[in-house]
Amino acid sequence: MNTPPGSPPSCAIAAPKGRRLPWTRLIALIASVLLAGAWTAHAASSSSGQNWPQWRGPLANGVAPQANPPLAWSETNNVKWKVRIPGNGSATPLVWENQVFVQTAIPTGKKAEAQKSDAAADAPAQNQPGRRGGGGFGGGQKPDEVYQFVILCLDRRTGQVLWRQTAREEVPHEGYRQNEGSFASTSGVTDGKHVFAYFGSRGLYCYDMAGKLQWSQDFGDMRIALGFGEGSSPALYRDTIIVNWDHEGDDFIVALNAETGKELWRQARDERTSWSTPLVLEHAGRAQVVTSATSRIRSYDIATGNLLWECAGLTRNVIPSPVADRDMVYCMSGFQGNALLAIRLGGTGDLTDSEAIVWRHNKNTPYVPSPLLYGDRLYFLSSNNGVLSCFDARSGRALIDAERLEALQGVYASPVGAGGRVYLVGRNGATVVLRQSEKLETLATNRLDERFDASAAVAGKELFLRGHDYLYCIAEQ
């Protein structure tokens, strides 16, 4: 993929050399491209199936439109390579051509010194300019060990480490609940020229593809509710990178120049902790960034930061990221209630309970996993369980209504789509593969000796699964 993930795609359909496509097939192909969100600001060029440049893939909807990964695998079948990743993390791997990028937090065994870990982290937020939080607010056991916050670049062909950079080494200012998070849960993004490693309270780091640091930005310390750790990832649009900063302190959304790291604009927000990643899209000639959160779904003009529209209706602790098609955006949450809103784009101001809400649903929505928008089918799980629903995204009609997938025992990873199939990865090491269909049709159930919280990445004919200990490259062998 040669076009950055923030560049508008070409919608041209090329026929095989020397042949012309039948007009019926041509119309079907054009329709499928439009419904897949080919207009989105994240979409890439015609090689978008070869790379996975960001959280939720080249179209930011969980789909790799031209990829065709394997249907079946095991520890002894169709594993191209398997490498141990030091430390811990649940950031989604990034794939660009022959490079695979993985973020991780590695304990060093060194105990905290009486510096930020004690005095500064426990000080009131107002006494720390630019640093918000501290004092183990997030729950869990307060860390007393130094961690290295590392980005690894692996050879896609072999899994061997090409380079390794330590972005920061420090004691995290707050802990997280065991088995519910990590110090490297946020994912990065790449445009093929740079890779942006994001570690939340440890900062944003821009490297070139050879691993040389270009710039970095520190946004302060988050104070995360309930001890789940940090999770929102940045979004990239052309040469603008967006970071959303919702926590139990001063909230904001900020845009930076991706080439220099210079701040372009910043808008204050009135929110509680959210873990949802912003979605950048284009509609009616304007690029906008949509954020899901407890108080409001909001959309900002990406050029100026001005608020375009907002809408209430989600529950607390919003984690799933929005997805969009050509003229609607879909936002959902699933803690202390259930909410799914299908919002028509083009409105301004407060859209709450307006005609812009095309349809809504209030049962069996996800808590942690984000939805998958595959063509005109919207797939989502119930809470963190292997209970699947699929709705017609345009009408809100239920196609699959809360059907249980018995093989999945707990799900944090978001579903992905490729090759006419839907891949759902469970925390118990099982992956259920379904046909992309209006009916529930299981094609395969695959098991690995790992635990998976990170969402999968799909590129070309390969599926990348990041477990607690290992990164797998799944490919036909």
For 135-145, the pLDDT digits (tens) are 344 456 788 99
Q: What single letter denotes the amino acid at residue 272? A: R
Q: Write out the DSSP string of 106-153.
A: EEEEEEPPSSIIIIIHHS-GGGSTT----TTTT-SSPP-EEEEEEEEE
Q: Give the pLDDT of residue 44.
A: 42
Partnered with residue 256 across adjacent β-strands are 241, 263
pLDDT at site 127 = 30
What are the Cα distances from residue 136, in Å, to 125, 141, 147, 271, 462? 13, 7, 16, 20, 40
- What one-letter code names the amino acid at 5? P
Q: Tell me, yes or no, whether 48 lies in a domain.
A: yes
Q: What is the pLDDT of residue 225?
A: 86
Q: Name the domain count of the chain.
A: 1
- Asked if residue 210 is part of any domain, the answer here is yes
CATH number at residue 89: 2.130.10.10
The span from the CA of 70 to the CA of 58, in Å, is 19
The amino acid sitting at 152 is L
Query: Is 11 within the bounds of a domain?
Result: no
CA nearest neighbour of 375 among 69, 5, 38, 52: 38
Query: In Å, how far from its chain's centre is CA 63?
Result: 12
Residues listed for the chain? 477
Q: Which amino acid is at 121?
A: A
pLDDT < 50 stretches in the chain? 1-39, 42-46, 114-138
CB half-sphere exposure, 419, CA atoms < 13 A: 16
pLDDT of 18 reads: 36
* Residue 140, pLDDT score: 64
Confirm if 422 and 399 have CB atoms less than 8 A apart.
Answer: no
- Nearest alpha-carbon partner for 136 in 245, 226, 271, 200: 226
Instruction: Give pLDDT, residue 47.
Output: 52
Name the one residue in this structure whose structure tokens are 């110090």: 183
- Structure confidence at residue 142 (pLDDT): 82
Would residue 163 count as lying in a domain?
yes
In a domain, 425, yes or no: yes
Contact 276, 322 (CB under 8 A): yes
Show the domain range for 257: 23-474
Structure confidence at residue 11 (pLDDT): 29
pLDDT tens track for 293-351: 999 999 999 999 999 999 999 999 999 999 999 999 999 999 999 999 999 999 999 99
Residue 341 in any domain: the answer is yes
Q: In one letter, which amino acid is 25?
A: R
Residue 353 maps to a domain: yes
Whether 4 is covered by a domain: the verdict is: no
CA 336, CA 27: separation in Å to the nearest integer? 44
